[in-house]
Amino acid sequence: MLARQLHGENRLCAQRPNLNLLGTREPQTYGRATLKDVETLARDTAARHKLDVEFRQTNHEGELVDWIHEAQAKQAAGIVLNAGGYTHTSVALRDAVAAVSVPVIEVHISNIFAREDFRHLSYIAPVASGTLCGFGIAGYGLAISGLAAMLEAKG
């Protein structure tokens, strides 16, 4: 998901692999909301903060890295990132997040710490500005609101 602040700043929100299956993939873990529901929530929350969203989803790690670089090049206001399984495996995503000055909020629909042991490690969290997990798709709204508060505090 890519977003722009209405006052000229950009904000990037990148969606993880398999999120296109949201609503049908493991609904006991991820719920029945769809990717369109996430997009609607993100747009509505962003609008309340005078932000505009460009929504993106990919199943490809390199594309996520490219979007993070793009956010830096466009002087984005921030990134909301759900890296999905790449959270636990991708040094490349971790390094991309660390390489940009754009604040990144890591989001997970499920509580990764209440799941399999391998999901307890996040390569993203140590270099992210914040991390949210376990709030379902509401986590996206919380991430956008938190990022908006960070931007406002920064002035």
Candidates 86, 108, 123, 140; catalytic one = 108
The pLDDT value recorded for residue 3 is 41
User: What's the rounded Cα separation, in Å, for the pair 154 and 96?
Assistant: 23
pLDDT of residue 14: 63
For residue 9, name the pLDDT band (cuts at 50, 70, 90).
low
b/e map of 69-101 (b: 16 or more CB within 10 Å)? ebbbeeebbbbbbbbbebbbebeebbebbeebe
DSSP bridge partners of 63: none
The confidence score (pLDDT) of residue 44 equals 93
Q: Are strands 2-5 and 10-15 parallel, antiparallel or unpaired?
A: antiparallel
Whether 108 is a known active-site residue: answer: yes
88 catalytic residue (yes or no): no
Catalytic site residue from 30, 86, 123, 140: 30
User: pTM of whole model > 0.95?
Assistant: no
Determine the pLDDT at residue 62. 95
Would you say 143 and 105 are in contact if contact means Cβ atoms under 8 Å apart?
Answer: yes
* Cα→Cα distances 57→17, 22, 93, 104, Å: 7, 11, 15, 16
